[in-house]
Structure 1
Amino acid sequence: MVNPVLRGYFRGRIYGAEHMPKSGPVLVVANHASDFDPPIVSSCVRRPVSYMAKQELFKVPVLASAIRAYGAYPVQRGGSARGAIRAALQQLEQGWAVGVFLQGTRTPDGRISDPKLGAAMIAAKAQVPMVPVSLWGTHRILPRGAMFPKPWPVTVRIGPPIAPPSSSKDKVALQAVTNYCCDRIHALHDLGR
């Protein structure tokens, strides 16, 4: 359902899909500017991607079953990062591709100004590669006050996998890999449409 909307309504372009491993655990690391980003990323990498979602969403009957089927797993808002990391590691152990937005929240322009170390820590603990993904244009799909999504062109670029840090305890290495992921995503984003 997402692919026809992405390619038709949003005139989506996808580059670098060949970089995504077809199977096995992998961390998909992306920028984030829209609620549309998780299904768009999953559609573009051509395999299901499991995302953490706030626990409250799992209390909405129809939505709960839909997001569970899509691979979402609950995390407590304001809870410990340790719980979120543990949940992501469980998904990776089951062979999922796990999606992490590098800033942890949406940004107004798709740029990452404050990348968090969580993705690098998860990759280090699980020893799985990180695949950088840039979403361009999604911040304009649903502008403030709009009732319906706008047919703004969207471009998704997928970069080559990045090796995980060797240790989850080495903060310097975690920061270096996080910065490298951020730089790769920005370089892809700067290519624009």
Structure 2
Amino acid sequence: MNLDPPKPSFAYLVVSYCFVFPIFRLLFRGRITGTNNVPKNGSLVVVANHGSHLDPPFLGHALGRPVAFMAKAELFKIPLLAAIIRACGAYPVNRGASDRHAIRVASSKLNQGWATGLFLDGTRQKNGRVNNPMAGAALLAARTESNLLPVAIINSHKALRKGFLFPRFLPIHLRVGEVIPPPISRRKPDLEEVTEKLKSSINFMIDQGLID
């Protein structure tokens, strides 16, 4: 869909430039390559590997346009936090909600012109790679006729290891791949084909290692 993306809110700009970016750039020596691959207009499904809780804020503020993520509904009951994450495009999904409900909510965001972020495995992976990809991103792209953008988040699984509360300030770099068109249908073979392309693209960029 060739829609203009929503303009960043004041809260988004404050969070991005006063909080997330300084942490990413200074503490984690963050670098990004491939941002020229990011479409500036139109709905977009941003797909990445998932190594730690650092991934959503870094990915959501690194591409030059806001990226909306699903967030637990409980977070929206905390007044200040709710105002911030809602302004940044997060949308609530009830714990235990069906996949169909989550897809409908995400589709609505895409139909408004948002870039919507999903992690291909759906949960954090100890090795930081894409291991057991799910077809949710491909299905979402097929439903909304949105392009998919693969992004590799490198080293976050080492910087904030699963089961640990405090991070190690290691470099975290993002590699942005080339856009992948949506599946030609919602049939399982077509969804699996695109899902495999996403997995291969992301893992290939991970294998390239940190940006020189």
| TM norm structure 1 | 0.94
Query: SS of the counterpart of 2:61?
Result: helix
Q: Aligned partner of 1:113: which letter?
A: N
Q: CA deviation at 1:144?
A: 5.7
Runs of 4+ more than 3 Å apart: 143-148
Task: Report the counterpart of residue 88 of structure 2 in structure 1.
Answer: 70
Q: CA deviation at 1:23?
A: 2.1
Corresponding position: 1:173 with 2:190: yes
Distance in 1 between the 2:145 and 2:163 partners?
A: 43
- The CA deviation string for residues 142-171 of structure 1, in whole angstroms up to 9 with x for no partner, is 236755432111110000100000112x10
Corresponding position: 1:186 with 2:203: yes
Q: Aligned partner of 1:79: which letter?
A: A
Corresponding position: 1:41 with 2:63: no
Q: CA deviation at 1:47?
A: 1.0
- Structure 2 matches for 1:58-137, cutoff 5 A? 58-137=76-155
Q: Aligned partner of 2:175: which letter?
A: R
Query: SS of the counterpart of 2:134?
Result: coil
Distance in 2 between the 1:154 and 1:66 partners?
A: 24
- The CA deviation string for residues 117-142 of structure 1, in whole angstroms up to 9 with x for no partner, is 11000000100100000000111222
Q: CA deviation at 1:34?
A: 1.1
Identity of aligned residues (%): 47
- The CA deviation string for residues 76-125 of structure 1, in whole angstroms up to 9 with x for no partner, is 22221110000000000111000011111111121121111110000001
Query: SS of the counterpart of 2:103?
Result: helix
Corresponding position: 1:27 with 2:28: no
Structure 1 vs Structure 2 CA RMSD: 1.4
Q: CA deviation at 1:18?
A: 0.6
Range 1-10 or range 102-111, more displaced: 1-10
Distance in 2 between the 1:116 and 1:147 partners?
A: 27
Distance in 1 between the 2:202 and 2:165 partners?
A: 30
Corresponding position: 1:155 with 2:173: yes
Picking from 14, 33, 49, the partner of 1:15 is: 33
Distance in 2 between the 1:18 and 1:165 partners?
A: 23
Q: Aligned partner of 2:189: which letter?
A: V
Q: Aligned partner of 1:140: which letter?
A: K
May I ask how many residue pairs the two structures share in their alignment?
192
Point out where structure 2 has 5 or more consecutive residues left out of the alignment.
1-18
**Contact kept? 2:52, 2:161, Cα under 8 Å:** no
